[in-house]
Structure formats: C-alpha cells, structure tokens
Amino acid sequence: MTNQSEDKTITLVIGGTGKTGKRVAERLTAKGEKVRIGSRSSIPAFDWDREAGWDATLKGVKSIYITYSPDLAMPGATDAISALVWRASLQAVQRLVLLSGRGEAEAQACEQIVKDSGLEWTIVRASWFNQNFSEGAFIDMVLGGAITLPAGDTPEPFVDVDDVADVAVAALTEDGHNGEIYEVTGPRLMTMADIAHDLSIATGRKIAFIDVPHEAFIEGLTSSGAPKDVVWMLDYLFSTVLDGRNAHLTDGVERALGRSAKDFAEYARDVAATGVWRVAA
C-alpha cells in the first residue's frame, strides 16, 4: 500500500490520446494541473490488458479521468474497472471521473463499481459525439458525400466532445461535483438526415444520408479491415443503443457548467472552417 502522506498532485487521464482524453489533458495543463497520460505509448505505460503495470501509473495520482476503450459495454469492462478502482483505493487516489454511456446497462454496472469505491466520484454519461464525423469512424463518409449508416430515422441528441471535456475537467478540478451523474446531450434531437443537412450547409457540398441494412453495414466494415473492437462497438451501438432509448434531451452540460450545450450546426461550421472536410477539386 502506498504511503498515505505522499504528496499527490497528478491527474491521470486514461485514454489521454483519445477524443475526450486529449481535450481533458489539454485543458488541465492549461489550468496549471500536473497531468499524466495513461496510454500504451506513455511512460509509464498504461494498458488495460496489463494490470501489473498500473501501480507505476498510479503513483502520485490524486484524480483519475477514466475512459475505457472501445466502450464500457465490452465484455470484461466491469472486471477491468473493478481492478482499477481497487488499485486506485490502495494508492490513496482521491477522486474518480468516469466517462460512461447513455442507455447502456453494462456501462451502468461499471458506474456502480465507481460509486461503491469509497472515493469521490463523478459520472459523465454521453452517447453519440459530434466529432464522430470529423475525427472518428464517419469522416470518410462526409468526405465522400454520403453518410451510409443503418440509422433509420431514430433521433439522437448528439453531444460535442468539447462539452464533454469541459464537464470532466470541472469535475476533476472543482468542488461541488462529487456524487453527481451528468448525463450530457446536445441541445436538440437530430436524425442522421438532419446531420447530413447541417453538414451540407457547413461544407457547401451536398451530403446525403443513405439508410443501409444493418447486416450489410457490418459486413462492409469487416471486409474493409476495420479493427474487431471497432466493428463490435458499431454493431452494438446501431443494433442496441440506437433504438430511441436516448431520444430525449438532458441538462447535464447546463448543470455542470452553467451554460448551454454546443449545437451541432455550430460544431459543423467550426470544423468546416478548419478545412478538414475540404475535398480537392
């Protein structure tokens, strides 16, 4: 067990190179916080599959931002979160902030492990990110002019990753967030057709939404050589989570930050201005 008097000043950002993690790390650093990135390439390295190395990563850590890749719904996630919480407790970590998934029973099981840890905790519950269309699996579809997904007309309140990161940083650095579950959404419900419409306006190009059969989508992903965990996650999200269960707005961003959530149209305009979606003539 660690020396309880050890000076703990580090915030560990697990998944610190991912969509939310890199933003959390940047914001913490800008605030003058000491940050340790938890990834396979960092020193000391953090690998969810190599528990023996975790104690080195946890040394001197006061708070942890926890993201589990690719998703807390993955088989084995509860065991991994249990092991991390146990080791964090032994190392006298003070605060845990968990990125969780809306409408996922498996993710909520992981939340319960964190809530039962005896440590300070905050849950940030999110689902579909705006940035999936600019940094993730769907950017090539935007560039190609057609979002081909098995999404039908189910609405989803897409949330901006910058808002997720801001909520997480507030929970990591401020008082008043202990014991809170912040379910975060954008300010409006949107179908994939709505997404395509906003992207068309932002890019100045026609971007269509084409609803495709689920099986064909997964077969296409597999044949394209996509990583197995990515195929599994998208299969799970489109077959299970995107069924309308999350088709309602929440006030998590407003409660945590005292401001409104960023709208998808604003996100699309900002990204378009960077040239990420620019297609060569």
- Which CATH number is 65's domain given? 3.40.50.720
Model pLDDT, residue 70:
84
Strand partners, 208: 146
Q: Tokens 């092991």 belong to which residue?
A: 83
Taking a C-beta distance cutoff of 8 angstroms, is the pair 47, 40 a contact? yes
Model pLDDT, residue 158:
97
Domain for residue 180, yes or no?
A: yes
Q: What is the pLDDT of residues 90-144, one digit of tens each?
A: 999 999 999 999 999 999 999 999 999 999 999 999 999 999 999 988 999 999 9
Q: What is the pLDDT of residues 164-215, one digit of tens each?
A: 999 999 999 999 999 999 999 999 999 999 999 999 999 999 999 999 999 9
Q: Is the pLDDT of residue 16 over 60?
A: yes
Token reading at 23:
């933003």
Domain for residue 242, yes or no?
A: no
Domain for residue 239, yes or no?
A: no
Average pLDDT over residues 24-30: 98
Average pLDDT over residues 20-48: 97
Q: How many domains does the chain have?
A: 1
Domain for residue 271, yes or no?
A: no
Strand partners, 184: none
Lowest mean pLDDT among 38-52, 86-100, 179-193, 224-238: 224-238
Average pLDDT over residues 145-163: 97
Model pLDDT, residue 233:
87
The C-alpha atoms of residue 99 and residue 21 are separated, in whole angstroms, by 10
Q: What is the pLDDT of residues 54-105, one digit of tens each?
A: 999 999 999 999 999 889 999 899 999 999 999 999 999 999 999 999 999 9
pLDDT category at 230 given cuts 50, 70, 90 is confident
The C-alpha atoms of residue 33 and residue 26 are separated, in whole angstroms, by 10
Q: How would you list the strands of the sheet with 34-38, edge to edge?
A: 34-38, 10-14, 61-66, 95-101, 120-126, 180-183
Token reading at 212:
């495709």
Q: What does the mean pLDDT of the chain come to? A: 95
- Name the more confident of 276 and 75: 276
Measured from the Cβ of residue 110, the count of other Cβ atoms closer than 10 Å reads 25
Taking a C-beta distance cutoff of 8 angstroms, is the pair 35, 124 a contact? no
Q: Is the pLDDT of residue 39 over 50?
A: yes
Among the listed residues 259, 102, 230, the one whose alpha carbon sits nearest the alpha carbon of residue 167: 259
Phi then psi for residue 145, to 5 deg, are: 85, 10
Measured from the Cβ of residue 229, the count of other Cβ atoms closer than 10 Å reads 12
Domain for residue 270, yes or no?
A: no
The C-alpha atoms of residue 98 and residue 66 are separated, in whole angstroms, by 5
Domain for residue 104, yes or no?
A: yes
For residue 65, what are the domain limits? 10-128+159-185+247-261
Q: What is the pLDDT of residues 248-269, one digit of tens each?
A: 999 999 999 999 999 999 999 9
Domain for residue 86, yes or no?
A: yes
Is 38 exposed, middle or buried, given 0-12, 13-18 or 19+ CB atoms closer than 10 A? buried
pTM, rounded to two decimals: 0.95
Model pLDDT, residue 6:
66
Task: DSSP for 201-239, please give it.
Answer: HHHTS--EEEE--HHHHHHHHHHTT--HHHHHHHHHIII
How many angstroms from the chain centroid is the CA of residue 121?
A: 17
Domain for residue 175, yes or no?
A: yes
